[in-house]
Structure 1
Amino acid sequence: SADYQKILKDGGFVISMSGKGNCYDNAMVETVFKTLKAEIIWRTIFLSRLEAEIAIGRYIDGFYNPVRRHSALGYRSPCDFEAAA
Structure 2
Amino acid sequence: MSIAYNEKLTDYGIKPSTGTVGDSYDNALAETVNGLYKSELIYSQSWASLMDVEFATLNRAHWYNTQRLHKAIDYHTPTEIKQIYYAKRTTNTPEPIATT
TM interval, shorter chain, is 0.5 to 0.7
Give the number of equivalent residue pairs.
Answer: 78
Q: Does 1:75 align with 2:80?
A: no
Post-superposition CA distance 1:14-65 (Å, at most 9, x none): 532113453311111111011111221111211122211111111111x111
Task: Calculate the aligned-residue CA RMSD, in Å.
Answer: 2.6
Which has the larger share of helix? 1
How do 1:1-80 and structure 2 match up within 5 A?
A: 1=5, 2-7=7-12, 9=14, 15-61=16-62, 63-72=63-72, 74-78=74-78
Structure possessing the higher relative contact order (Cα contacts under 8 Å, 6 or more residues apart): 1
Contact 1:70 1:76 in 2 (8 A): yes
Unaligned runs of 5+ in 2: 86-100
TM-score (norm 1): 0.67
Gaps of 5+ in 1: none
Larger Rg computed on CA atoms: 2
Q: Structure 1 vs Structure 2: percent identity of aligned residues?
A: 28
After TM superposition, what 4+ stretches of structure 1 lie above 4 angstroms from structure 2?
78-81
